């Protein structure tokens, strides 16, 4: 949806820029149209002047045609208007010899008086009278100039946004962590975390002394860099005690060796950011469907006849030891756990068999 909105904003911006450019082009077109109108008006004026000149030419040609007379036309007019009818030829002859202005010589004709027609017109030799005959057709006028192009039309209204496309439904995503922010667990018997987990800290296992019925009943993973608050050195005797923990393995089962016997037990606290639940399953070395195995090993706890009982924890199948901790200090102890038939169904359980375990997350 956000990408679609960004696209709409981009298209809107482009449309606004296009509108601004269209307005500029319209203004330029208007200026060009005004210039073209001026040029057209000038052309029309020039054409009118040409037409006027042609009309004057026609008038002059008409005057020329109207001034063409037949040969000896002037002499005949003088003789007919002479006061002495019988002597008209003599008078005309005398006039002809005395007044050159009234003669027609070599195709030149002169009107009776300069006052009536002050212009001399040279006529072509042998031309006849064209009186009362229509003139020739005038030449066709020149084509007018092309008109200016019209203004560009206004842009149309913006169309409606199309329907949103609907693609195929995607596959169902993996289940989230339910808002738990990841899972935290303790890996007993190892100093590091398995692949996929982040180590929070590495430490040493501890708990209540195996002979003491009081105190805590769970093992603790104690960091190797303790910090102190208010304290009083010395054992006062009216408090709970925290001891280190040791492996107790008198046989090579289930780890294949007795070399771990009486060595201090290491531990690591691990964090899995992508899964929100953790589970330790006894008597299994694999997780059920939908869960991820973090590590697996063997179930261990305090010895059955010791006063200081402990919780059951899962110790890694490849346990490590704390450097320099090989001494019989007792304290909290780690013993393998065997199955006992009776209330525990056999089969599938087997009398005296060491129990496995697995830590899973989801």
- Asked if 91 and 193 sit in the same domain, the reply is no
Is residue 232 assigned to a domain? Answer: no
- In the chain, the number of structural domains is 2
Q: What angle do CA 354, 356, 361 make, to 5 degrees?
A: 165
User: DSSP states of 20-60 as a string?
Assistant: HHHHHHHHHHHHHHHHHHHHHHHHHHHHHHHHHHHHHHHHH
- Regarding whether 182 and 39 lie in a shared domain, the answer is no
pLDDT over 60 (residue 131): no
Domain presence at residue 164: no
pLDDT at 294 over 70: yes
3-state helix vs strand vs coil in the chain, percent to 5: 25, 20, 55
Q: Please tell me which residue, 93 or 291, carries the higher pLDDT value.
A: 291
CA gyration radius, the chain: 66
Q: Are residues 263 and 356 in the same domain?
A: yes
- pTM to 2 decimals? 0.51
Same domain, 94 and 186: no
206 close to 245: Cβ distance less than 8 angstroms: yes
Considering only CA atoms, which of 199, 203, 205 is closest in space to residue 184? 199
Q: Are residues 87 and 209 in the same domain?
A: no
Identify the DSSP state of 260.
T
* Residue range(s) defining the domain that contains residue 33: 2-99+117-122
Considering the domain boundaries, does residue 54 fall inside one? yes
Domain finish residue from 122, 137, 163: 122
Residue 136 lies in a domain: no
133 domain residue, yes or no: no
Output the pLDDT for position 63.
Answer: 79
Residue 112 belongs to a domain: no
Query: Residue 232 — pLDDT band, cuts 50, 70, 90?
Result: very high
Domain membership of residue 135 (yes or no) is no
298 contacts 255 by C-beta, under 8 angstroms: yes
In whole angstroms, give the CA distance from residue 113 to residue 276: 134
The reply to whether 253 and 360 lie within a common domain is yes
Q: Which is nearest to 204 in space by CA: 278, 156, 118, 263?
A: 263
Over residues 31-83, the pLDDT tens digits come to 888 888 898 888 888 888 888 888 888 888 887 877 554 445 455 555 554 44
86 lies in the same domain as 184: no
Which phi and psi (to 5°) does residue 8 adopt?
Answer: -60, -45
Give the list of residues 6+ apart from residue 152 with CB closer than 8 angstroms, or none. Answer: 22, 25, 26, 29
Average pLDDT over residues 153-157: 86
Within this chain, do residues 210 and 336 fall inside the same structural domain, yes or no? Answer: yes
H or E stretch covering 199: strand 198-207
Distance CA 316, CA 320 (A): 9
The answer to the question of residue 104 being in a domain is no
Regarding whether 211 and 69 lie in a shared domain, the answer is: no
Q: Name, in order, each residue with C-beta under 8 angstroms of 249's C-beta and a sequence gap of 6 or more.
A: 255, 257, 258, 260, 261, 336
């Amino acid at each position: 949806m956000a990408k679609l909105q960004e696209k709409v904003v981009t298209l809107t911006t482009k449309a606004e820029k296009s509108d601004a450019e269209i307005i500029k082009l319209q203004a330029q077109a208007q200026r060009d149209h005004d210039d073209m109108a001026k040029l057209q008006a000038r052309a029309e004026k020039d054409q009118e002047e040409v037409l006027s000149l042609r009309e004057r030419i026609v008038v002059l040609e008409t005057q020329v045609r109207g001034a063409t007379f037949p040969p000896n036309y002037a002499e005949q007019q003088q003789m007919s208007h002479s006061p002495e009818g019988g002597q008209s030829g003599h008078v005309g002859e005398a006039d002809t010899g005395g007044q050159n202005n009234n003669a027609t010589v070599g195709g030149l004709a002169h009107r009776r008086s300069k006052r009536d027609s002050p212009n001399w017109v040279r006529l072509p030799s042998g031309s006849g009278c064209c009186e009362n005959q229509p003139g020739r057709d005038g030449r066709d006028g020149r084509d007018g100039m092309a008109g200016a192009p019209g203004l560009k039309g206004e842009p149309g209204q913006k169309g409606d946004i199309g329907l949103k496309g609907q693609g195929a439904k995607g596959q169902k995503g993996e289940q989230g962590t339910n808002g738990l922010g990841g899972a935290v667990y303790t890996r007993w018997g190892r100093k590091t975390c398995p692949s996929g987990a982040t180590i929070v800290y590495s430490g040493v296992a501890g708990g209540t002394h195996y002979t003491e019925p009081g105190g805590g009943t769970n093992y603790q993973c104690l960091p190797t860099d303790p910090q102190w608050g208010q304290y009083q050195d010395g054992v006062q005797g009216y408090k709970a005690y925290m001891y280190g923990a040791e492996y107790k393995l008198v046989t090579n089962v289930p780890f294949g060796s007795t070399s771990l016997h009486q060595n201090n037990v290491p531990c690591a606290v691990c964090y899995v950011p992508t899964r929100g639940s953790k589970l330790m399953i006894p008597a299994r070395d694999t997780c059920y469907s939908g869960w991820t195995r973090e590590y697996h090993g063997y179930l261990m706890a305090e010895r059955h006849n010791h006063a200081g009982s402990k919780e059951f924890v899962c110790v890694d199948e490849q346990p490590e030891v704390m450097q320099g901790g090989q001494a019989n200090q007792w304290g909290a102890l780690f013993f393998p756990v065997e199955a006992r038939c009776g209330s525990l169904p056999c089969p599938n359980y087997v009398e005296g068999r060491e129990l496995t375990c697995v830590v899973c997350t989801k």
